[in-house]
Amino acid sequence: MKIMIIDDEKNIRISLTNILEDEGYTVDSYSTINSGLQALLESDPDLILLDVKLPDGNGIDALAKIKETLAQIPVIMISGNSNISDAVKAIKLGAYDFLEKPLSLPKIKITVKKALDFYAMTLKLMRIQADSERGWRMVGESKVMQELNALINRVAPSNAKILVYGESGTGKELIARLIHARSARSAKAFVKFNSAAIPKELIESELFGFEKGAFTGATARKKGKLEEADQGTLFLDEIGDMELAAQAKILRVIQEGEFERVGSNQTRKIDVRIIAATNKNLPELIKSGAFREDLYYRLNVVPIHSPALRERISDIPLLINHFAHDLAIELGTRVKSFAPSALQRMQQQRYPGNVRELKNIMERIYLLCDKDVLEAEDINPFMPDTALNAGGDAAFWSATGNFQEKKREFEIRYLSRQLDRFGGNISKTAAALGLKQSNLSRKLSDLGLKQEQNNIGYKDDLP
């Protein structure tokens, strides 16, 4: 834990530094507000001891500035000649405590420990609240989900490296979060790093952090995701998209528990559990030279398969009920009820996007359907076009015809149905499909579908 002292009395800075370092803390001390606040941007303290009377200003004003940007960091005010009103003002601004000089060193040690314990508890509660709000819950009673849940319970207490693999939208991050939540590291941070979402030139600086001046735009020191996850769990999502250079450094972290920030020669020790996830075939990437074989074997200590939705069809009604209640709360509406015919229709649907696609369909239904009790015919307009499913129109799939003919037929059918959803309104249909209205109008004209202002006249010979 790092503590910052801002006090203009040299003897006090020395005394506080000595006693706090004896307690195992790292201490930085400053004699002015300006030097302390400037260092604050780079030093990342866990607690601040701040004098009230300083050469370049009032410590209470400095407290207000600190709380504007670092609201959670505890600040203990110290003063030799302040009054009750100063103490009251400091507490109202968010100071953890207000101590008077001459300082009692035993009291300082007790107050600092309590403040740091309070800070740790605050961060823990914030993480718990954030995870709770995101709804990280496993939904499903199918055999494959029962086996998955049992495996999570078995591996969570260990520090074993885990590789979660499966298709997009199956809930790989959920598995990682549940492992963290059921581990001895649950009180510490769960930090997600998505290699696919970050430009390759920024991966190392985001993952390992950087020093001031390490590159253009590095105006202050910054911790990376790895340091943020110290004592906790680092979730490396889409590990198959990580650059080879970053792969080598992650391998070193796993093997030796150390790393350097970008632009620094200082080696830092780290204690972090790594869970990786991918929807790619890593052995194939190894063959092509895009992924390190040694890293693969380091990560793949415990492989966990995230099942596709087609492997757990019986869980769809449970998922629908789960999303129905969550969306009702999120959107401030009544919970919709799905009749057996609607549930059967949704279980028959193919979901290439897995649970994520099912959730998107549920959200679409909540936003666009006014009914509270839904039958199959009520949800059909909000489902992906049935011609995309093997259970769709048999004539369409079995009839002969070349690709261009079939493509044109499909476009006619698809656009006709989408326009029907919006009462023939082209502007609304274009918005729903993510198209410009002019492009949709041109496509309709090319297909021979007549338009009258915002309405469309369907051809009588539509298949």
Q: Give per-residue pLDDT as tens, 238-251.
A: 999 998 988 999 99
Residue ending a domain, choose from 109, 125, 141: 125
CATH of the domain at 218: 3.40.50.300
The whole-number pLDDT of residue 384 equals 78
- Dist. CA 182–CA 163, nearest whole Å: 17
Find all residues with CB under 8 Å of 421, minimum gap 6, and list them.
381, 429, 432
Residues 329 and 297 in one domain: no
Q: Residues 325-340: pLDDT tens digits?
A: 888 878 878 889 999 9
Instruction: Pick the last residue of a domain from 242, 273, 306.
Output: 306
Residues 427-443 have a mean pLDDT of: 82
Kindly report which listed range (57-71, 194-208, 391-405, 438-452) carries the lowest average pLDDT score: 391-405
Amino acid in position 355: V
- Report which listed range, 131-145, 336-350, 409-423, is most confident: 336-350
447 within domain boundaries: yes
216 vs 405, residue with greater confidence: 216
Residue 263 has pLDDT above 50, yes or no: yes
Range of the domain at 435: 400-457
Q: Do 240 and 206 fall within a single domain?
A: yes
- Residue pair 50/6 in contact (Cβ under 8 Å)? The answer is yes
CATH number at residue 408: 1.10.10.60
* In a domain? residue 155: yes
Which are the contacts of 441, defined by CB distance < 8 A and separation ≥ 6?
426, 451
98 assigned to some structural domain: yes
Q: What is the mean pLDDT of residues 302-316?
A: 95
The end-to-end CA distance of the chain, in Å, is 71
Residue 390 is assigned to a structural domain of this protein: no
Percent of the chain with pLDDT over 70: 89
CATH code, 12: 3.40.50.2300
Instruction: Give which of 65, 95, 177, 78 is closest to 128, Cα–Cα.
Output: 177
Asked whether residue 299 is assigned to any structural domain, the reply reads yes
Name the DSSP class of 385: P
Query: Hey, what amino acid is at 160?
Result: A
Check residue 202 and give its pLDDT: 84
Range among 77-86, 218-227, 292-301, 361-370 with highest mean pLDDT value: 292-301
The mean per-residue pLDDT over the stretch 206-216 comes to: 87
289-294-298-304 Cα dihedral, nearest 10 degrees: 40
Stronger pLDDT, 434 or 347, i.e. the higher one = 347
Which pLDDT tens digit goes with each residue over 159-176? 999 999 999 999 999 999
Per-residue pLDDT reduced to its tens digit, 117-131: 998 888 777 666 655
pLDDT digit string, tens, across residues 6-38 = 999 999 999 999 999 999 999 999 999 999 998
Predicted confidence at residue 451, as pLDDT, reads 53
* Global confidence as pTM: 0.62
Residues 179, 254, single domain; the answer is yes
pLDDT at 381: 87
What one-character-per-residue DSSP string does 246-270 give?
Answer: HHHHHHHHHHHSEE--BT----EE-
Q: Are residues 301 and 329 in the same domain?
A: no
The whole-number pLDDT of residue 128 equals 66
What integer is the mean pLDDT of 431-436?
A: 82
Please give the angle made by the CA atoms of 118, 119 and 120, to the nearest 5 degrees: 90
* Pair 264, 366 in one domain: no
Residues 162 and 301 in one domain: yes
Provide the 8-state DSSP code for 32.
S
Residues 323, 295 share a domain: no
Return the structure tokens found at 433.
């499909």
Looking at every residue in the chain, the average pLDDT score rounds to 86
pLDDT band at 450; cut points 50, 70, 90: low
If asked whether residues 170 and 269 sit together in one domain, one would say yes
- Residue predicted with more confidence, 147 or 44: 147
pLDDT at 240: 93
Within this chain, do residues 317 and 282 fall inside the same structural domain, yes or no?
Answer: no
Question: Measured between alpha carbons, how far is 106 from 403 in angstroms, rounded to an integer?
Answer: 83
211 and 121 in a common domain: no
Question: How many CB atoms are located within 10 Å of the residue 427 CB?
Answer: 12
Cβ contact 281:147 at 8 Å: no
| pLDDT over 60 (residue 457) | no
Q: Which residues pair with 181 in a beta bridge?
A: none
pLDDT of residue 195: 83
Work out the pLDDT band at 433, boundaries 50, 70, 90: confident
Any domain includes 343:
yes
Number of domains in the chain: 4
144: in domain:
no
- Do both 297 and 179 map to the same domain? yes
| pLDDT for the residue numbered 134 | 54
How would residue 74 be classed by pLDDT, with cut points 50, 70 and 90?
Answer: very high
Same domain, 182 and 290: yes
Looking at 323, 350, 384, the residue that finishes a domain is 384
pLDDT digits over 351-399, tens only? 889 999 999 999 999 988 888 899 999 998 888 754 344 344 444 554 5
What CATH code is carried by the domain that includes residue 363? 1.10.8.60
pLDDT, position 29:
94
Residue 392 within any structural domain of the chain: no
pLDDT band at 107 (very low <50, low <70, confident <90, very high): very high
Does residue 226 register a pLDDT over 80? yes
Q: What's the sign of the alpha-carbon dihedral 308, 313, 319, 320?
A: positive
